[in-house]
A and B are shown apart, each in its own frame.
Chain A
């Protein structure tokens, strides 16, 4: 299988910060808002270089979403920054009415998604956000896998007209995406071709999927690994093409198995080519305090969980 090299661990939120800083230089219409989490979202560089285009909202996320919607009236492209929990569940109705239904060009940038937020625990570890956001008509939902891809995605969404949910995380993880790879919204990336099983992963679980595929290769199982950074619009054709070859699929995400990527995959395949599928995701549960690694293991979100799911789905072919 194709090998990927970790260029050095880094956090996806820093990729967002770097992308935002670059946008600050290249696009005068880009403005940024934050609800008292500038350091956590790595927004300092943008603020330092563009103080007049930054709005510190304070701890008032509902107001932030409304202000972002209003800033589009006058041609601005607002990027909001706070934790994923406070970017979605806390402000769902504001996003629904003032942004999605009003079709405002707001980029909702959400850090610290999933259990890998770690020690802060379940109050902050949202595992339902992809589901909430993908259900909003017109909303684009993106969950990049590493620093480079998050940076590229941040830059790409500024060019996209319409509301976007960009989800990323806190921990330093492998950075393996080519630094110059252009980000195409809605286009799945084939990472490694295989013939026995398709593994479709998003976010932090893409790297875990690659590790699992390597281990499976040693057992004589050829896994095809697809990075589906965009959950909506969903690149169903890429998945269909792959499962026509492999005949089974494992979806992997740092999210409740209900409502997330896996369900989108299942929904698509059930109407095109019903295919045995196993879900790697949290099993309808809240998280808890712990290190990211401990939590990934305990909640079945690591490469071993993916490997196990592959072995299970292969028996159902």
Chain B
């Protein structure tokens, strides 16, 4: 299996020299996993698999990599921006936003419930701080990010725009319009990350619709590509994303191929597409949480 191959490359990156925050980030990662599991369990719906696979990335992005201002305003001038294109992994997005202070962590209790700002898929419609675009219908996030990146250039704003996409999502044609545009117009203040877990709802991407060689595809379109082979190793994620950041501003958009395992951190959810959009039952939740003991406190 494709995803098993990438999972056994752990330990390739050396430990980073200066990272006093590392333990904090790792604790936060475990806590976010707990949040994801508890959120989807409570409403017996939602998408834990991709959320768990992107937990290290999202924690690192918001707590180590992005340059953010205090508070939230829609325009986000003079700060880095993030767009979640694969909106179904809203549980990890909401948990990371709440834990970063965008809204009270108690609000995670309202995920997918009536009258909540935490809709099944993220939206600006309910005014949830931290969200700048609705996503859920796939393939639209990169185009939006391109607009935001172009607005930054017009505004002489040197901050960056980050995006996250599912690998299966690349089957949507609009992505390739955006990928062509980004290189053709030298949108070099953009880092688009692909959650390269090789899984989608109906099975392995290889079986549903093979993606081919994504690195070669992005490069052929004129992008600079960074591979992060250990996408569930937070040190490797930080190192790889810093490398990606160092390649911005050089005339090319930057793509990160983030090799992850869907369902990472919960043994029975890993190496399968089965937990893409399925919630654990009581027993499964208990098992999953026992593998991720409470760190900084449940909501």
List 13 extra interface pairs beyond A63-B143, A70-B83, A97-B137, CB under 8 A: A57-B181, A62-B140, A63-B174, A67-B147, A70-B143, A70-B148, A72-B151, A74-B157, A75-B151, A75-B155, A94-B143, A102-B125, A104-B133
> Which residues does chain B contribute within 8 Å of A68, judged by CB atoms?
147
Contact of A31 among B133, B142, B154 (CB under 8 A): B154
Q: A103-B124, A103-B125 are in contact. Are A73 and B177 (CB under 8 A)?
A: no
- The residues of A that contact B75 with a CB separation of less than 8 Å are 73-75
A53 within 8 A of B: yes
- CB neighbours (8 Å) of A52 from chain B are 154
A78 to B145, CA, bound (A): 14
- A68 CB, min distance to chain B CBs, angstroms: 6
Contact B125 A71 (CB under 8 A): no
Closest chain-A Cβ to B116's Cβ sits at a distance in Å of 16
**Residue pair A98, B154 in contact (C-beta under 8 Å):** no
Q: Is B128 an interface residue (CB 8 A)?
A: no
What total count of A-B pairs have CB within 8 Å? Answer: 118
Please report whether the interface of chain A is mostly helix, strand, loop or mixed according to DSSP.
helix
Scan residues 160-185 of chain B and give those whose CB is less than 8 A from a CB of chain A: 173-174, 177-178, 180-181, 184-185
Q: Is B285 an interface residue (CB 8 A)?
A: no
Question: Can you name 12 A-B pairs with beta carbons within 8 Å?
Answer: A53-B154, A60-B177, A63-B177, A63-B178, A64-B143, A66-B140, A66-B142, A67-B147, A69-B144, A70-B147, A75-B77, A75-B155
CB of B272 closer than 8 Å to a CB of A: no
| Nearest chain B CB to A286 CB, angstrom units | 25
Report A84-137 residues with CB < 8 Å from chain B CB: 93-94, 96-98, 101-104
Which A residues touch B177, using CB under 8 A?
58, 60, 62-63
Residues of B near A55 (CB, < 8 A) are 150, 185
Tell me if A170 is interfacial: C-beta within 8 Å of chain B: no
Q: A58 to B77, alpha carbons, bound, how many Å?
A: 28
**Minimal beta-carbon separation of B132 from chain A (angstroms):** 5
Q: Known contacts A94-B174, A97-B137; is A70 also within 8 Å of B125 by CB?
A: no
Identify the closest chain B residue to A63 (Cβ): B177
Residues of chain B in range 98-123 having any CB-CB distance to chain A below 8 Å: 123
B146 part of interface (Cβ distance < 8 Å): yes
Task: Say if the beta carbon of A76 comes within 8 Å of chain B.
Answer: yes
